[in-house]
């Protein structure tokens, strides 16, 4: 199976490429603006996928599947880049399908749902309240409208929705990365919220394994929550992170107010990903 991965040099992309390369009979073409950190066993290609003069599908050898991970400023929820590039993401996916692609997977996010309490499944109504969530939600909806066209009736479509990611922390922009930086700077205290909100956390390496499992099968499709299926308080997770790394830094609770748009308790319904991983391990 020949799989094209866009955004392959990014935080999640590197891990996905590495996981795919451990699988038998999988060839990986990895695309990004810069490919300096992509695994040497992948066919790395520095390419602007939004260049309208490039037929990415044929340029990359007509892959069996494309995992569209590329996204600018994913950790900056109200960056103007989300809306600036929205149409480019849609047109890239459409052009890949029009060129002959039969299997498209796109990275989604739980932030599409917006403020929500409880489990998020594939039927949960979405009301995003950040530019990041709005753009991702719009892309998903637009692609579903496109795929209603009978010319795409044979296309396998997967929307892989991630939750709160940690691990490989110096490469991301999460609270865990900020704690690592504060510890290395010798700070005694880290300004924190109340930490009471509960989220579905997943380590990036485990997430990458789930994502790789999704795109290398065609039985389970549509919206797939790639997550743990459990909700843990932010305080508990961060305290555990500090202890695990034997850091000296302490949390200063209440230094910042909780964000009004954060859900008090939210997690992903992981029924689909459990089925995929179960089938893979048979």
Beta bridge partners of residue 162, listed in sequence order? 109, 226
Residue 72: DSSP 8-state: T
Q: With residue 108 as reference, give the H or E element that holds it.
A: strand 103-109
Provide CB contacts within 8 A for 67, sequence distance 6+. Answer: 3, 4, 5, 6, 16, 105, 106, 107, 211, 215
**Catalytic-labelled residue, pool 57, 85, 132, 164:** 132
Active site residue 163: no
Q: Any idea of the CA torsion for 82, 83, 88, 92, to the nearest 10 degrees?
A: 60
Tokens of 272: 């689909």
Rounded Cα distance between 18 and 37, Å, is 11
Residues forming the active site: 132
């Amino acid at each position: 199976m020949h799989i094209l991965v866009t955004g392959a040099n990014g935080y999640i992309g590197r891990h996905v490429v590495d996981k795919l390369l451990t699988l038998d009979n999988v060839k990986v073409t990895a695309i990004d603006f810069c490919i300096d950190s992509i695994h040497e066993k992948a066919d790395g290609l520095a390419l602007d996928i939004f260049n309208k003069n490039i037929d990415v599908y044929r340029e990359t050898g007509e892959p069996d599947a494309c995992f569209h991970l590329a996204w600018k400023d994913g950790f900056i929820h109200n960056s103007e880049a989300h809306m600036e590039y929205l149409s480019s993401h849609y047109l890239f996916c459409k052009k890949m399908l029009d060129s002959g692609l039969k299997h498209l997977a796109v990275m989604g996010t739980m932030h599409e749902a917006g403020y929500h309490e409880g489990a998020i499944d594939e039927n949960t109504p979405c009301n995003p309240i950040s530019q990041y969530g709005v753009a991702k939600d719009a892309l998903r909806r637009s692609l579903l409208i496109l795929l209603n066209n009978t010319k795409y009736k044979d296309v396998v479509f997967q929307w892989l929705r991630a939750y709160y990611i940690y691990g490989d922390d110096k490469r991301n922009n999460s609270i865990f990365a900020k704690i690592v930086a504060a510890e290395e700077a010798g700070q005694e205290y880290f300004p924190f919220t109340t930490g009471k909100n509960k989220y579905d956390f997943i380590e990036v390496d485990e997430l990458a394994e789930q994502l790789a499992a999704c795109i290398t099968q065609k039985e389970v499709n549509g919206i797939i929550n790639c997550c743990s299926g459990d909700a843990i308080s932010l305080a508990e997770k961060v305290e555990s992170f500090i202890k695990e790394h034997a850091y000296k830094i302490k949390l200063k609770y209440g230094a910042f107010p909780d964000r009004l748009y954060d859900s008090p308790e939210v997690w992903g319904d992981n029924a689909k990903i459990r089925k995929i991983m179960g089938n893979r391990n048979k």
